[in-house]
Amino acid sequence: MRWPNPRIDRDTLAVLGIALAVVLFLSLNLLASTTLGRVRVDLTEDGRYTLSEGTRRTLSRIEEPVTLRLYMSEGLREVSPRLADHAGRVRDLLERYVRLSGGAIELEVLRPEPFSPEEDQAVADGLRAMPAGNGRDSLYFGLSGTNSTDDHEAIPLFSPERTAFLEYDVTRLVHALANPRKPVVGILGALPMTGNMATGEKPWRVVELMRQSYRVRSVKPDDGEVDPEIDILLLAQPHGLSDTARYAVDQFLMRGGRILAFADPFAEVFGYRQEAGGNGTAARLDAGTQALLEGWGVRIEPDTVVADRTHAREVRSRVGGRDTVVGYVGWLALSGDALATDDAVTANLSQLALKSAGAIEARDGTSARMTPLARSSTQSMPLSVEIVANFPNPAKLLSDFKAEDRRYTLAARIDGPFQTAFPDGPPDGTDESGHKTGSGEGAHVILVADADMLADDAWTQSRQRNGESVSVPYANNGDFVVNALDNLSGGSDLIGLRGRGLDDRPFTMLERMRQEAEDRYRSREQRLIERINEGKARIRELRRREVETGVVMTDAQREEVERLREDMLEARQALREVQHKLHEDVERVRAVARAANIWGMPALVIVFAVAHGALRRRRRQRSVTGS
């Protein structure tokens, strides 16, 4: 007996195929959610969704139990989709911490409601309320932690603006609870970093970052000795130190101390405030600071700063009577190979922002070893401090720029042995019994030839969110300082967490194309501006003579004035054309990059689909011909 062999038409076959595809898709998703729920693949360039080795080491070394309380109000998901996604990521991250800790971390999730015990506990734990924005009660979204000795740490608010720093913030909190003893950092120098309660000045942002992991205090070692409790000494433009204070710094290093120093040939934070009553003299390197540097085996040229065309930061400037964006070669945004990739302090940083930085040079005949941490590009040159101090024209500096094909060291690690800066003994009136002429084991220095990088406006921007001002970094200056302190104090677990996923990520190829377009026109633009200014000056001179002498200009002089005016009109027209072409070239580069980002992947998909379809048709034709 033969079974019937019914033919299934193509429409029915297509419907069955689609139905089977849907069933297969749902089955695969169900299987993946049950068996691969903890499997993740991070395809981002900087691995921002992968837990760092520093976090894993921190979690594996927890010896005493740590309790984390995550406060998440129910209304968070209704505020914005972005905040809802952020809340999900925070909880997922904390649950991974619990798993990797091997039971050392206990996580509690609390849902504060208005006037509830949970809301009272959130306030007591130091959390900051977040306005809901729709007239309802405030919401809470933060983290609190305690250890077995009742030490307490908190993240008052998980702000979406700090998404890139989420792992660092949480690991820092866990690290602080697992290692409750904080090293002590002493700040010595002229910079007003710690603020002033009497005048209402707040501490700088970098000091707030330091206080998360360190005990920070100001020191004044006028008795010839640094407090023995100080673990690391931070020198912030140490201008005007007495001989006794300099001797205390010197002997702190000779006894194996660690120093993070910022010495600037022109500290703009002081230099540009001089007319307003600021301490303009503190802007410069003094002889006492240079003597300390010599003992460390290095020197900083006191009368020049480093100008760098490649890493110049863009600023707005008046060019030919119009506002335009140009690169200011005295302000640098260091990235890429400008930062040492083989040193823990700078390896994971994306960008450092410097202002009027000096050059560090190793002195001959010393035993200290200098290792660069940050360097300029080969498109660099020295620039007189006097030029920088007098508000230079960025466009003219760019036009007059002449690179020396040399890289300058802007920040460096210096390892001993060191020699004392007081070979003849301590200053008069200081105890000589403990005087050391050479450094002990463990003496290290990290030196930066720029002090302005510590100021808030050098590396952060203020943004408004929910009625509050949030300080958002666009450079890694704060990370650099804390990395350096961690490295000098021996704590390296947190270093790999900083500097991941900054919002301001430069497009290097786009930047190079933009710079090439700018180079083609900037020098001609400057020549035209000088031609216009010379014409204006000559006309003013002729008119001044006419007024002062009372003698009417001659026909020849009037003809000269007319020629100058015509020449100025032609120069202005040419200048407008040059600026228009520059703008066109830059916009063309941006348009190409924008089109590539938007249409590149769809175009590839279309090409692949067309090629795949053509290949299938060719195979079908061959099979028909063969049969």
Quick check: 30 pLDDT over 80? no
Q: Are 207 and 214 in contact (CB under 8 A)?
A: no
Indicate if 471 and 390 belong to the same structural domain: yes
Residue 270, token pair as written in the block:
């002081």
Closest residue by Cα to residue 178 from 92, 55, 303: 55
Indicate if 453 and 587 belong to the same structural domain: no
175 domain-assigned: no
Bridging pattern class, strands 152-155 and 184-189: unpaired
Instruction: Please list the alpha-helical segments (H only) found in 36-80.
Output: 53-60, 76-79
259 torsion bin: left (phi>0), alpha (psi -120 to 50), beta (else): beta
Quick check: 126 pLDDT over 80? yes
Residue 63, token pair as written in the block:
């010896």
Closest residue by Cα to residue 569 from 538, 602, 528: 528
Q: What is the mean pLDDT of residues 83-102?
A: 91
CA 74 to chain centre: 34
Residue 531, token pair as written in the block:
């031609």
237 domain-assigned: yes
Q: What is the mean pLDDT of residues 304-318?
A: 88
36 domain-assigned: no
5 domain-assigned: no
SS3 479: helix
Phi, psi of 268 (to 5 degrees): -65, -30
Q: Are 302 and 290 in contact (CB under 8 A)?
A: yes
SS3 152: strand
Rounded to an integer, what distance in angstroms lies between the CA atom of residue 65 and that of residue 152?
Answer: 13
Rounded to an integer, what distance in angstroms lies between the CA atom of residue 418 and that of residue 104?
Answer: 43
pLDDT at 503: 47
What torsion do the CA atoms of 324, 327, 332, 335 make, to the nearest 10 degrees? 110
pLDDT at 494: 63
* Span of 482-496, 542-556, 569-583 with lowest mean pLDDT: 569-583
Q: Determine how many CB atoms are found less than 10 A away from the CB of residue 205.
A: 20
pLDDT at 277: 38
Confidence of residue 573 (pLDDT cuts 50, 70, 90): confident
Top-confidence range, 11-25, 197-211, 233-247, 487-501: 233-247
* Span of 351-365, 570-584, 605-619 with lowest mean pLDDT: 570-584
Indicate if 289 and 398 belong to the same structural domain: yes
Q: Is pLDDT larger for residue 167 or for residue 375?
A: 375
Quick check: 264 pLDDT over 90? yes
pTM: 0.61
Closest residue by Cα to residue 302 from 271, 264, 246, 354: 264
Q: Are 73 and 150 in contact (CB under 8 A)?
A: no
Indicate if 526 and 475 belong to the same structural domain: no
| Cα first-last separation, the chain | 31
Which DSSP helix (H) or strand (E) runs through 327? strand 322-334
As a whole-number percent, the residues of the chain with pLDDT over 70 amount to 78
pLDDT at 222: 73
pLDDT at 182: 84
Q: What is the mean pLDDT of residues 369-385?
A: 94
Residue 336, token pair as written in the block:
């890429």
Question: Facing residues of 352 across strands?
Answer: 334
CB crowding 285-319: b at 16 or more within 10 Å, else e: bbebbeebbebbbbbbbbebbbbbbbbbbeeebeb
Rounded to an integer, what distance in angstroms lies between the CA atom of residue 65 and that of residue 72?
Answer: 23
Quick check: 55 pLDDT over 50? yes
Q: Which range marks the domain in which residue 322 is found?
A: 212-488
Q: Is pLDDT larger for residue 608 or for residue 117?
A: 117
Q: Determine how many CB atoms are found less than 10 A away from the CB of residue 218.
A: 11
Q: Are 386 and 420 in contact (CB under 8 A)?
A: no
* Span of 47-56, 258-267, 380-389, 505-514 with lowest mean pLDDT: 505-514
pLDDT at 626: 61
Phi, psi of 492 (to 5 degrees): -110, -5
Top-confidence range, 238-252, 266-280, 451-465, 505-519: 238-252
Quick check: 248 pLDDT over 80? yes
Task: Write the CATH number for 160.
Answer: 3.40.30.10
Please confirm whether the linkage preceding 417 is cis (ω < 30° from 0).
yes
Task: Please report the beta strands in 148-284, taking only residues with DSSP state E, as ranges in sequence order.
Answer: 152-155, 184-189, 215-218, 232-236, 258-262
458 domain-assigned: yes
Quick check: 500 pLDDT over 60? no
Task: Name the burial class of residue 283, with classes exposed (0-12), middle (13-18) and buried (19+) by CB atoms within 10 angstroms of its CB.
Answer: buried
Q: What is the mean pLDDT of residues 127-142?
A: 76
Indicate if 483 and 538 belong to the same structural domain: no
Rounded to an integer, what distance in angstroms lies between the CA atom of residue 550 and that of residue 533?
Answer: 25
pLDDT at 525: 63
325 domain-assigned: yes
For Cα atoms 492, 498, 502, give the angle at the middle one, nearest 5 degrees: 165
Indicate if 364 and 282 belong to the same structural domain: yes
Q: Is pLDDT larger for residue 539 or for residue 42?
A: 539
pLDDT at 512: 60
Quick check: 160 pLDDT over 90? no
Which DSSP helix (H) or strand (E) runs through 562? helix 555-626
**Average pLDDT across the chain, whole number:** 81
Strand order in the sheet with 141-147: 105-110, 66-72, 141-147, 152-155
Indicate if 290 and 160 belong to the same structural domain: no
Indicate if 292 and 381 belong to the same structural domain: yes
CA 87 to chain centre: 25
Separation in Å, CA 310 to CA 187, 336, 387, 405? 33, 11, 20, 12
pLDDT at 439: 84
Indicate if 99 and 158 belong to the same structural domain: yes
626 domain-assigned: no
Scan for tokens 């001959």, then name that residue.
Answer: 364
Rounded to an integer, what distance in angstroms lies between the CA atom of residue 536 and that of residue 539?
Answer: 5
Q: What is the mean pLDDT of residues 476-480?
A: 94
* Span of 418-427, 460-469, 514-523, 611-620 with lowest mean pLDDT: 514-523
Task: Name the burial class of residue 553, with classes exposed (0-12), middle (13-18) and buried (19+) by CB atoms within 10 angstroms of its CB.
Answer: middle
Quick check: 149 pLDDT over 50? yes
pLDDT at 28: 75
As a whole-number percent, the residues of the chain with pLDDT over 90 amount to 33
For Cα atoms 434, 432, 251, give the angle at the middle one, nearest 5 degrees: 50
Domains identified in the chain, total number? 3
pLDDT at 259: 95
CA 135 to chain centre: 36
Q: Determine how many CB atoms are found less than 10 A away from the CB of residue 80.
A: 12
Which DSSP helix (H) or strand (E) runs through 329? strand 322-334
Indicate if 515 and 482 belong to the same structural domain: no
Rounded to an integer, what distance in angstroms lies between the CA atom of residue 83 and that of residue 159?
Answer: 8
Indicate if 480 and 578 belong to the same structural domain: no
Q: pLDDT digit string (tens) for 442-461?
A: 688 999 999 999 999 999 98
Could you say which DSSP state residue 160 is in?
A: G
Q: What is the mean pLDDT of residues 170-180?
A: 87
495 domain-assigned: no
Indicate if 482 and 552 belong to the same structural domain: no
Q: What is the mean pLDDT of residues 479-489?
A: 89
* Span of 48-57, 300-309, 402-411, 577-586 with lowest mean pLDDT: 577-586
